[in-house]
Amino acid sequence: MKKILIIEDEEIMLDLIRRKMTSEGYEVIVARDGEEGLRLIKEGQPDLILLDLIMPKKDGFSVMAEVQKDEVSKKIPIIIVSNSGQPVELSRAKELGARDWLVKTEFDPRELVEKVRNILSEPIS
């Protein structure tokens, strides 16, 4: 069973994504801020990370920047799940190794599942 780490500070979104992913048959672990997220990336060894950007303690960009420094962690694919989607943010996230980007108001849970499936079905490099 593939393991997904959700890093999201908004409780209802966290709950919704967790339910969706669980019902799709994934194992889910969650973190409610950037610091906790970083800890779980190392300890939980997820196969994929769903990352919010604006969060307390450490924002999504800082999380990505730290993940980049770790040879093991940096191989884990990251999908940004954010309320914002400005071009400057998008290009910065790509530089920091984000695999995909999803603006919450423009996508729905089904599309998120599709993106996750696509990435996880790729052969591991």
> Measured from the CB of residue 115, what is the shortest distance to other proteins in angstroms?
14
The residues that touch other proteins, with contacts defined as CB under 8 A, are 10, 12-13, 16-17, 19-20, 23, 83-84, 86-88, 104-106, 108-110
Nearer to other proteins, 44 or 85 (CB): 85
CA 72 – CA 111 distance, rounded (Å)? 28
Nearer to other proteins, 31 or 81 (CB): 81
CA 98 – CA 110 distance, rounded (Å)? 20
> Measured from the CB of residue 91, what is the shortest distance to other proteins in angstroms?
10
> Measured from the CB of residue 53, what is the shortest distance to other proteins in angstroms?
11
Distances (CA, A) of 115 to 38, 44, 49: 22, 21, 12
Report CA torsion sign: 56, 61, 65, 71. positive
